[in-house]
Amino acid sequence: MAAPQQPVLVPPSPEPPNPPSKLPPNMQIWMVTIVLVIAAARVGTMQVSGYSWLGMMLIMFVFVLFLGRWISGRPLGILVNERNLMSLSRFQIIMWTLIILSAYLIIAIQRIHAGIPDALNIALDKRLWALLGISTASLVGSPLLLQSKKTQTPTDNAVTNAAKVLGEDKSTIEANLQGRLYSNVAPKDARFTDMFEGDEVGNTAYIDPSKLQMFLFTLIVGVSYGYLIFHSMYADPKSLAMPTVSDGMVALLGISHAGYLGSKTVG
């Protein structure tokens, strides 16, 4: 008679190490905000120069990236609209906000640091207000002009063609449509190229010339005005002021924004 086999003892598997604890989201927000505020104060009190302005703008840009990551799950989430697409109107207003507010903050801090009476009384050219007004009008007006298309139904042929060109499933496109307007499933699906494509399912796979024109005009005017700010920062704190905006700059943006908004009413 064979001897009974002894049971094989299997050593207990070691417990996996505990994952490193993460700070709560609210604590992360507060810590990053405090660090960026301290960095902004440090940059603002440095010797004024074009590079101090660029440093301040970079700090604001980093804060915008963190906001996008916290709220939308991706750094450029601030550019994603309610249809989970990257918005050109959001891009241009964020760009102007960063350029103008960073310059204004540097000038204000330098004037306060120099002991100038009424340091916050910084004159702003009326054409600069017009420029900001044009950008805000596009941000507000764009969804209003598209509102009527949310109640319309696209043709089956338009959906089929979009699915073929985009390489997407037709049922997925139909499930996320907002009337005739194309929408992505989630914010993570948004792409930089969304800013140059049509809004409707019938033209979303094609470049919208009005959007491309507005992007180029906005970029050219923004870089040109940034160049003026950079060189104006080397003046004495008592002479620091926001550069004036030419009528040509306002006209360029006005024409591009008019074409951009006008294209949304077609169809």
pLDDT band at 15 (very low <50, low <70, confident <90, very high): low
Instruction: Report the predicted TM-score, pTM, of the whole model to 2 decimal places.
Output: 0.83
- Share of residues in the chain with pLDDT > 90 (%): 38
Asked if the model's pLDDT at residue 216 lies above 50, the reply is yes
Neighbours of 58 (CB within 10 A): 14
6 belongs to a structural domain = no
Instruction: Name the pLDDT band for 22 (thresholds 50, 70, 90).
Output: low
Res 156: pLDDT: 87
Phi, psi of 181 (to 5 degrees): -90, 135
Does 132 score more than 70 pLDDT?
Answer: yes
Could you give the angle at the alpha carbon of 266 between the alpha carbons of 258 and 84, nearest 5°? 85
Residue 3: pLDDT band with limits 50, 70, 90: low
42 occurs within a structural domain? yes
Q: Does 55 map to a domain?
A: yes
Residue 231 lies in a domain: yes
**85 falls within a domain:** yes
User: Rounded mean pLDDT of the chain?
Assistant: 86
| 146 vs 236, more confident | 146
Q: What is the DSSP letter of 46?
A: S
Residue 1 pLDDT class (50, 70, 90 cuts): very low
Mean pLDDT in residue range 161-180: 90
Lowest mean pLDDT among 23-32, 43-52, 164-173: 23-32
Are 179 and 151 spatial neighbours (Cβ–Cβ below 8 Å)?
Answer: yes
Give the SS3 label for residue 96: helix
Whether residue 192 is contained in a domain is answered as yes
Name, in order, each residue with C-beta under 8 angstroms of 152's C-beta and a sequence gap of 6 or more: 179, 180
How much is the CA Rg of the chain, to the nearest whole Å? Answer: 26
| 3-state SS assignment for residue 235 | coil
Q: Is residue 50 part of a domain?
A: yes
Number of domains in the chain: 1
Q: Is 13 within the bounds of a domain?
A: no
**By residue range, what is the domain housing residue 143?**
25-115+122-263
226 burial level (CB within 10 Å; 0-12, 13-18, 19+): buried
